[in-house]
Every structure is written in structure tokens, then in C-alpha cells.
Structure 1
Amino acid sequence: MGDTDADYSDVLIIGAGISGIGAAYRIRERNPKSSFTILERRQRIGGTWDLFRYPGIRSDSDIFTLSFPYEPWTRRENVADGADIREYLTTTARKHGIDEHIRFNTHVESAEWDSGTDTWTVRAQEDGVEKLYRGRFLFFGTGYYNYDDPYTPEFPGIERFGGNVVHPQFWPEDLDHSGKRVVVIGSGATSISLIPALAKTAAHVTMLQRSPTYMMSMARIDPMVDAIRKLLPRKVSHSVVRFRNALFHVLSYFMFRKAPRFGRWLVRNRTIAALPKGYDVDTHFKPRYDPWDQRMCLILDHDLFNQIGEGRAEIVTDHVDHFDETGIVLTSGRRLDADVVVTATGLQLQALGGIKIVVDGRDVDPTDRFVYKEYLLEDVPNMAWCIGYTNASWTLRADMTARAVAKLLAYMDSHGYTHAYPHLGDTPVEEKPTFDLDAGYIKRAPHALPRSGSKRPWHVRHNYVLDIVDHRFDRIEESMVFGRAADQVTAPPRAESRTA
């Protein structure tokens, strides 16, 4: 690989968050002679951890599995704040020289593949001016949701409300909630971390939910983790703790799914113990679904329970009827007076960051293609996409994806191939949901992501243990087409979209 063009890189990586930084590290680790450039639309490293800046923003999984296996987390926290995660990513990128390859304020709009030269041309807006980048391979570290347009349902009369209405995805830095009455609409991970932070200075915080969510508390600092880190060297202890935490999540998820009645009892029992005596747990903390039908929310050091016990926060299970000038009127007839309303109502799914994909002059709809081994798209050459787990830390799969891409690049280079793509052909594949959750953001847009088949290698599986085995014994040639730009023996990939 190589090119004399100043704007050419062997690999173009879109996004400078966990996925993009991790991909850059793994690709260079295995392919030290390959060049790479990261295109980041924001002004800083961090991705999600730079975008979300609301009070209390933190990880909803332990930081040891969220951090990279090759870069130990050095702070004591088992669950980390968003600002500390962003600083960790920035430090990691600087330490390994990855930050020197990032082009900030670069908003990618389209990517066009040319089979005549086997290269991608990426069109971006860079500080308002169109900029072209060319590369042999394209890696999408863009996540799976819309950065510009979160989900906000229609609330009748909201235009009449005289206070502040904010969405956590666009939290105003100058918003002062001190001494004010705050209503947070929603009961997902954002609300669970936001409410305790707001309650510290607000007059009162109400979480308004339509139905309960499963919540479990985790300690910010884990004594067992502290003990392991004192006994073992830093890198060794990081690996041990990372493996231990990953194993714990896998086993607990398996237990909840295989024994849902026991899981319901366990969560309810622990919730009763954490809340004031006589609290109406079954109204506000008893979901209608089984554990892990939707992602389970993480409470930190019982903070939400504590704020409820102290009377600084409350949960109201009801529906919005309408807004008026001073608050919200519920369908039950109760009203909630508010100075600030936070619409923590969720996200919207989006494939490949909304970037337009063109192969040999024809538009490709990524939602019309099957996913191959959880990181390549059917008949789309030299392109990978990182998508994390729904039931475990994002980085666990992101690192596997980055290593798989690095391995593919090394294989192509050693054989002189300039393009590679997975090909399904006429093999019938039964489709299943890409995400195995019954969450609102998935039900609202069930076909917003590329397709998942029901069997390997054409499926997206949310099982870390089985994925480890698959990646360890992966056959790189399976259902793959390899070729060279000047090689006319290999047919070009199908570019037209297939209708459902």
C-alpha cells in the first residue's frame, strides 16, 4: 500500500472516539507500514464522551472493560465519569502518537468507491470548505445513533411552557438548575445518572416515567479491584480485572436470561432494601418485561435510591397529558410544577453516521445489506463498521473488530490484494434483529441498521464468549472475495440496493 497524494492514506478512520482510537492502535500495531488518517467532525477526541456533557454523565458499564486492554485505567473508580473517560482517550491517543493523525472539524458527508483504482474518495466539510480524502480502506467508528437529531416525542402544549426545556444530548453549559424544580422525562441510563447530579443543588427533581426500568446498583470503587491492583503489576492487574469484570457481566446476563423469575426477585429484593420502608416499589420499580429484554440501568453507590430517601428526588409513574405555562399535567390529573424540563427520551438509530455510500457510481443503502462477522457489509469492498454489544461494554467488541480489521489488512497486503468484500450470493439467510433488545429506540426504527442473519457468518451476535472463540479460530477466506484492481477475473461487487 502507499500513495504520493498528500491526502491519501492506506486507511481512513471516521470518528475519534473509542472505536476510532482503538482501530488506529490495532491497525498500526499489526500493519506498521500502513498510513492512516482519522476524520473527526468535532473539535476534540472523545466521540460520545465529548458530545454528552450533562451533569452526572458517566459510563453505564465498568470502566475496566470499557477501557482498552493495552492501556490500563489508572484511577480507582470502577465506574467512571464522562470527563475522565474523555481524558483517558485523549491521553491514550497522545501517548501512542495517534492524535497526530486526526483531522478535527471534519464532517464527512459521503464516501465513493472506485473499482478501477480500488480506492475510496471521502468528501468532507472542513471548517466550511469541501475537502477530499482518498484511501484504500474505510473504517467507520461512528457508533449507531444520530448525533444531530435525538428522539423527542410530541408533547401537547410544550410551546406554552415558560421554563427551560433541554435534551441531554445538547445540554446548555450556562443552564443553572440550582434551587429550581426539575422534571426529567424518561427512565433510561441517562436519567438514572442525571437525576442524582441534579438533585445535589436543585430544589427538587422528579423522574417522570411511563413504566419502570430494571436498575441495579454498583459501587464506584470496588474493594476486590483495589486488592488485585495492589497485589499485581499495573498491566497484569488491568488484564486480570478486565477479564474478571467481563466474566461477571457474561455470567450475570446468562443468569438473568435463563432464570428471569429469579432475576426479577433478586432485583426487587435489592431495591426494597435500598429504599425507605413502605416505599411503593411495585408501582415505580417493577417492570412489565423480563430482565435484559431491555438494557439494565446502572445506579452508582445507591445514589438515586439515597436521593429518593432524602426527599430530594421522586419517581412518578404516569403519562404526559399536556404542558401548560408552569409545568406538566398528567393523564391521572396530577400536575408537576417545573422550572426546567429535561427530555431524556432517548436516541434515534442511524447507520454509518448518516454518511452517503456510493459504489461505482451507485448509491448503497447500508440498511439493505447483511452484516458479515459483525464488522463488514455484504458486497461493499474495503469497508468496516464497528458496532458494540447491547449487553456488555462497547469496547469488548470494538477491540475485537479493530483486531479483525488489522488482520484482514495484513492478509490483503501479504497476498497483494487491493480489495476484499464478503459475498452472500444465492445462499438463503433468515433475518433477525440486529439488536436483541425490546427498547423503544429499536422498536421505533427496526430497519435503521444493516441486516443481521440468523447464522454465522452473517449475523450480529451479542455474546462475548462465543465471539472470542470465533475470532480465535476465524477463517479469513470464508465467504470472502479477494482481488486486485487490475485483476479482471474477479467480478466487481453488486452495487444496487436489494429491496426487502
Structure 2
Amino acid sequence: MTDHVDVLIIGAGLSGIGAAAHLTRELPRTSYVVLEAREVSGGTWDLFRYPGVRSDSDMFTMGYRFRPWRHEEALGSGERILEYLRDTAREYDVERRIRYSHRVIRVSWDSDTSLWTVEADHHGEAVTYTAGLVWSCRGYYDYERGHEPEFAGAEEFAGEIVHPQHWPDDLDWTGRDVVVIGSGATAVTLVPAMAEDAAHVTMLQRSPSYILSLPRRDPFAVRARRWLPAGLAHRVVRWKSILVTAVFYRLSRRRPETVRRMVRKQNVALLPEGYDVETHFTPRYDPWDQRMCFVPNADLFTSLRSGDAEVVTSTIERFDADGVVLTGGRHLHADVIVTATGLTLSPFGGIELEVDGEKVDPASLMTYRALMLGGVPNFVFTIGYTNASWTLKVGLVCEYLVRLLEHMGRHGYAVVEPRLPEGGMATRPLLDFGAGYVRRALDRLPKQGPRVPWVTSTAYGDDVRLLRRGPVADRHLVFTARAPRAPVAAEAAAGR
């Protein structure tokens, strides 16, 4: 038996729950189902269980526009973020429309019926849905494996080697020496969290990242909530966070030396006197060429000042039974090695994409408004910002899609397809971002073009004009009238 829905959402994480909540709130007559490969919701925020896991963006913008973040902490803990997501799913009647342990294998478009056929695996059993529109909300990285470089001698190490993406529940680092390999957001979170109980923690980095301390509690947000009505306080605090982030990013790109000096000045003030800031906290790249690392209340610097942790900048020659041998001969003793070496991207989760019986490689396609693929009908994907809160872009994609579906309903359209101009156009990578996990996957990602609407915007203000306020239809979208009546939506799939 095949169930039919108007919209089929892939993924029940931050993006998928947000997408579903928008449909519930704004298009209540639209039937939808959410297929989630894992046994629980939450996506990233359930998957990652390493010590201290938290957001690296402020929660006033990482939270949804329609549902305020009510905790005082600006950089939210993983536990509270997960609670927030699941509360949102319950409040907006999303939870009962999620089908867990449904791993989507293939999505196939049929122009004769104007429908997608979605094939999923549910505990080894094949399950099929049809849908008018497929909305991929599973993010862009591989949930099964992180990026784990091969280290010579790893098999000789007598202790435990752990990747943060697969943190063992029974790992005990109390009173033990820990080496954390990496310098990104995960590493700077792990080091102070583990240093509380470990004998000593070493953050071993090949090269430094920009690290800036922020208050755990945003003083502006605290005052706004005290003096303003809740709804107004949420809007004011959210816009303040949006503007501060945008100004800081723009300053970083236009005057990188100014931001370099600002970050360095703070680092010097927070580190022990005479600390080698040049070696350990001065990156070779400009600010925001890669994502900036933010730490709450200088916790990383506090661990370094106390001597509970240290930063070592070097390269690895090999592992041995007792730890890590560095280039040049220095040895770092370790009982536990944490390889915070990054993510592996998996565009669209490795799902096979077919249009009228022909396999389609997303890497060969151009993205329209960074949310649809040129030449692929009724298919939407959601990828957040790399230079601001992920959810800011997610929310705008949701708002645009709601307007698009309303437009199609008013005019009796069944199909919308982005079409490239005659003669095509120049292409460039989808994400203009220097992080290693992005560079390693550029050949597997779709492309962007040189101009709107084929360019990927990284500016929230530009996207507000394009996605929230701009026209829904343009000359690059081709709409087709309604096809013959689709199967009646099954109650179980529609969640009615």
C-alpha cells in the first residue's frame, strides 16, 4: 500500500521540525509526513553526546522566529536545545506525523502524474509514499561517520580513541590524560568540559582558529525580557543578535586586520602573561574564511590559565602505546585520544534522485535561490548559513515555500520547476567557505551561479528581501497546471 501526502519532509531535526511547524501553522489543510532515519527526533542535537555539547550561535537566532528561546543562556546546551526542538514538535502537532526508522533510499519524479515516489527502508521492509512535493531537511553531513584521518600507529595505542560524533556512554576520563586533536568548535567545547575531571587535557592543533569569548548570559536579552512584553522582547533581542552578527561578519570581510587585532587583544587579556599567542591563537587565514569559534564566559581560557589544559600547535608523526608523537620528537602522554577532526558531508544523505526514470546527479545542477535544483520539479532542500545561525536561513526557506505553495494553490498549479536561462551561465561552488569539511566535498555539492536568483546569498538582509518579501514567481520558474487527481491522502500519512 502506498500512502500519499501533499508534502513529504525528509529529516526530523532542527530544519525538519521547523519546516513541519510552518506547514501546521500556515497551511493547515496541507497534508504532510516527516520521514526520519533514526529512532528519535532532534537530528544533530540528539546525535552528538560529547561533553559540553552546545550551540556555537546565539540561541535567540538559532531558535525559531515563531517560538522564542526562553532560557537565559545565549549559547544553549545540547540538552536544552533538544528539549526546545521536541517541545516545538509537540506544540505544533508535528510529533505524530513523524515516521521514525524510515531511511529514504530513493525519490523518483514522474511527470505523467506530477508526483514523487519516495522509497524508504523501515527495519528492512520497503515502504513507499507518493508526494506532490519533496522537502529535504536532513542537513548536509553524514550521520554515520565523521571525518577520521588515518594516523600512523593508531593500532598500537593502548587507550581509547573516540570521535565526538560517536561518543561512548561509558567513557570515563576522570583522572586521566586526554589529547583532543582539533581546533574547531567541537574541540574548544570539549577541552574545558573534560578538563573539569581529567588529570590534564591537551588541545593538539595543526593550526589555530579564531576564538572569541562571549557572555553565557546576554545582558541585553536579560534587560529586554525584564522591561518589555514577552513577544516584543523576543523580536527586539532577535534583531539585535541578527544585526550584531551581520555587522561583525561584514567588518571581518572588509577590514580583517581590525578584527584580527580585536580578537588578539581579547585573547591576550584572557591568557596567562607571556603566553605565545602568535603560535597558538593567530590563524593563517582571515576572520570568517572559516567559522569563528565562540566560547561562553571564557571557559577555554580559564582552563588554560589554571593549568588544567594546554594548547599544542604541531603536526602528528604517529601514535604509540602511550599517546602521540609529534613532528620534532615531543611526546604527549594520553589515556584517551579524541579526534575532533571534523565532519564528512553527505549531500542529500546519499539519496538517489530520479526524474522520469533518469538518475540525476545533484553535483551537476545549479541551485535556485539556494533551495531548489535547476531542472528538478517540486523538490526543495534546506541548508542554513555558515556565517550566522543555521536557523535564520531555515526560517526564510520555510516562509518562501509556504508562499510558493499558496501561489500554486491559487493558480491551480501542480508543478514548479526552476529552468536555467538559454545558454546557461558560469558556475562556482555552492558554499564559498574555507572549512575543511566543505572543501573536501565541493565536487559532490550542487553549484551556484553568478547572479540572483542562482547565487547563494550569505546575507540575511538580502535573503529577507528575496525570500520573505520578494515576488514568489519569476522568469526562471516554470509552472504547470494541475495534473489528474492524485490518490487520496491516507489518514496515517497525513496525520489527520
TM norm. shorter chain > 0.5: yes
Aligned to 2:379: 383
Instruction: Tell me if structure 2 keeps the 8 A contact 1:116–1:485.
Output: no
Whole-angstrom CA distance in 2 between matches of 1:463 and 1:432: 18
AA matched with 1:11: V
Asked if residue 140 in structure 1 is aligned to residue 145 in structure 2, the reply is no
Residue 288 of structure 2 is aligned to residue 316 of structure 1? no
Q: CA deviation at 1:425?
A: 4.0
Deviations 1:113-165 (A, max 9, x none): 11111111111111221111111100000111111121111111111111100
- 2:227 matched to 1:204? no
> Aligned pair 1:153/2:149, yes or no?
yes
The runs of 5 or more residues in structure 2 that have no matched partner are 485-496
Partner of 1:402, secondary structure, is helix
1:228 paired to 2:196: no
Contact 1:9/1:35, CA 8 A, preserved across alignment: yes
The residue aligned with 2:462 is: 466
Question: Structure 1 counterpart of 2:473, which letter?
Answer: I
Identity %: 46
Contact 1:30 1:407 (8 Å CA) reproduced: no
1:451 to 447, 451, 454: 447
1:259 to 2:288 alignment:
no
Q: Which amino acid aligns with 1:272?
A: V
Residues 24 and 92, structure 2, Cα contact 8 Å, conserved in 1: no
SS in 1 for 2:87: helix
Alignment partners' CA distance in 1, 2:177 and 2:388? 35
- Provide, for residues 189-231 of structure 1, a one-character-per-residue CA deviation record: whole Å limited to 9, x for no partner: 0101111111110111000000110011111111111000111
Letter in 1 for 2:283: P
State the one-letter code of the partner of 1:116: D
1:240 aligns to 2:236 (yes or no) = yes
Contact 2:365 2:374 in 1 (8 A): yes
Check conservation: 1:27, 1:403, Cα contact below 8 A: no
Residues 486/98 of structure 1: CA separation in 2 closer, same or farther (3 Å cut): closer
Counterpart AA for 2:442: P
| Pair 1:439 & 2:426 matched | no
CA distance in 2, matches of 1:86, 1:486: 40
Match of 2:122 in 1: 126
Mapping 1:352-431, distance limit 5 Å: 352-431=348-427
Tell me, yes or no, if structure 1 residue 481 matches structure 2 residue 478: yes
- Check the 8 A contact 2:209/2:283 in 1, yes or no: yes
User: Is residue 289 of structure 1 aligned with residue 292 of structure 2?
Assistant: no
Per-residue CA deviations over 1:219-244 (Å, capped at 9, x if unaligned) read: 11111110001111222211111111
In terms of mean alpha carbon deviation, does 126-135 or 328-337 score higher? 126-135
Q: Please list every run of 5 or more consecutive structure 1 residues that lacks an aligned counterpart in the other structure.
A: 488-500
Question: Which of 48, 51, 72 is the matching residue for 2:47?
Answer: 51
- Please report how far the alpha carbon of residue 405 of structure 1 lies from its aligned counterpart in structure 2 after TM superposition: 1.1
* Distance in 1 separating the partners of 2:348 and 2:274: 48
Asked if structure 2 preserves the Cα contact closer than 8 Å seen for 1:370 and 1:459, the reply is: no
Residues 412 and 482, structure 2, Cα contact 8 Å, conserved in 1: no
Question: What is the distance in 2 between the residues matched to 1:368 and 1:432?
Answer: 11
1:113 partner SS: strand
- Give the letter aligned to residue 443 of structure 1: R
Shift of 1:446: 1.9
Q: What one-letter code is carried by the residue in structure 2 that aligns with 1:289? A: Y
Structure 1 residue 484: Cα displacement: 3.4
Counterparts of 2:134 and 2:386 in 1: how far apart (Å)?
Answer: 24
Query: Does residue 1:191 correspond to 2:170, yes or no?
Result: no
1:498 aligned residue: none
CA contact (8 A) 1:424 1:479 kept: yes
Shift of 1:486: 4.6
- Asked if 2 retains the 8 angstrom alpha-carbon contact of 1:161 and 1:327, the reply is yes
Cα deviation for residue 460 of structure 1 reads: 1.0
1:167 equivalenced with 2:163 (yes/no): yes
Shift of 1:375: 0.4
Partner of residue 70 from structure 1, selected from 58, 61, 66: 66
- C-alpha distance in structure 2 between counterparts of 1:231 and 1:299, whole Å: 28
Indicate the SS of the match to 1:447. Answer: helix
Q: TM-score, normalised by structure 2?
A: 0.95
State the 1:467 CA deviation.
1.1
SS, match of residue 481 in structure 1 = strand
Q: 2:178 corresponds to which residue?
A: 182
SS class of match (1:55): coil
Cα distance in 2, alignment partners of residues 409 and 305 from structure 1: 49
Most deviating of 127-136 and 376-385:
127-136
CA contact (8 A) 2:25 2:92 kept: no
Matched AA of 2:452: R
CA RMSD of aligned residues (A): 1.3
Cα-to-partner distance string for 1:325-377 (whole Å, 9 max, x where unaligned): 11110002101110100111011222111111111111111111100011010
What is the one-letter code of the residue matched to 2:151?
A: F
Structure 1 residue 475, shift from structure 2 partner: 4.2
TM-score by length of 1: 0.95
CA distance in 1, matches of 2:16, 2:424: 33
- How does 1:266-345 map onto structure 2 within 5 Å? 266-345=262-341
Q: Report the AA paired with residue 342 of structure 2.
A: G
SS, match of residue 178 in structure 2: strand
For residues 424 and 100 of structure 2, the distance between their equivalents in structure 1, rounded to whole angstroms, comes to 43
Which residue does 1:495 correspond to in 2? none
